[in-house]
Amino acid sequence: MNPFRIELQLWGVRGSIPTPAPENLGFGGNTTCLELRLPGGEVLVIDGGTGARKLGLSLLERARGKSLDLNILMTHFHWDHIQGIPFFAPLYSPANRITFHSTKLPEAVSEILEGQMTHPYFPVAFELLAAHRAFQQLSDGPTQLGGASVRTFPLCHPQGATGYRVEAGGAVIVHACDHEHGDPRFDEGILENAMDADILIYDAQFTPDEYKTKKGWGHSTWLEATRVAKAARVKRLLLFHHDPSHTDDQLRAIAEEAAKEFPNVEAASEGATFTL
Q: Please give the CATH number for the structural domain made up of 7-275.
A: 3.60.15.10
pLDDT tens digits along 236-276 = 999 999 999 999 999 999 999 999 999 999 999 999 999 99
Q: How does residue 161 score in pLDDT terms, banded at 50, 70 and 90?
A: very high
Model pTM score: 0.97
164-215 residue pLDDT tens: 999 999 999 999 999 999 999 999 999 999 999 999 999 999 999 999 999 9
Asked if 49 contacts 258 with a C-beta cutoff of 8 angstroms, the reply is no
Does pLDDT of 98 surpass 80? Answer: yes
Q: Judge contact between 133 and 96, C-beta under 8 A.
A: no
Q: 171-176 and 199-203 as β-strands: parallel, antiparallel, unpaired?
A: parallel
Helices (H) and strands (E) in the chain, counts: 6, 14
Position 250: which residue type? Q
User: Confidence band (pLDDT; 50, 70, 90) for 2?
Assistant: low
Interatomic CA distance for residues 199 and 15, integer angstroms: 19
Residue 127 is given by DSSP the state: G
74-95 as b/e: b if 16+ CB within 10 A: bbbbbebbbbbbbbbbbbbbee
At 107-157, the pLDDT tens digits run 999 999 999 999 999 999 999 999 999 999 998 889 999 999 999 999 999
Write the CB contacts of 57 (distance below 8 Å, at least 6 apart in sequence).
89
Cα separations in angstroms, 201 against 133, 173, 247, 268, 271: 28, 8, 20, 8, 15
Give the tens place of pLDDT for each residue, 169-181: 999 999 999 999 9
The answer to whether the beta carbons of residues 54 and 80 sit under 8 Å apart is no
Q: Which long-range contacts does 53-57 make (Cβ < 8 Å, 24+ apart)?
A: 53/84, 53/87, 53/88, 53/89, 54/11, 54/30, 55/11, 55/84, 55/88, 56/84, 56/87, 56/88, 56/89, 56/90, 56/91, 57/89
Predicted local confidence at residue 139, as pLDDT: 87
Enumerate the domain spans of the chain. Answer: 7-275
Q: What is the pLDDT of residue 141?
A: 87
Is a pLDDT exceeding 90 seen at residue 3?
no
Can you give the pLDDT at residue 9? Answer: 98
* pLDDT number for residue 140: 83
What is the C-alpha separation between 233 and 67, in angstroms, rounded? 40
For the chain, give percent helix, strand, coil, nearest 5: 30, 30, 45
Amino acid identity at 251:
L
Residue 154 β-bridge partners: 162
What is the structure's pLDDT at 58?
98
- pLDDT of 1 reads 55
Spell out the alpha helix ranges (H) of the chain: 51-63, 106-115, 184-194, 208-211, 222-232, 248-261
> Confidence class of residue 29 from pLDDT cuts 50, 70 and 90?
very high
Residue pair 202/225 in contact (Cβ under 8 Å)? The answer is yes
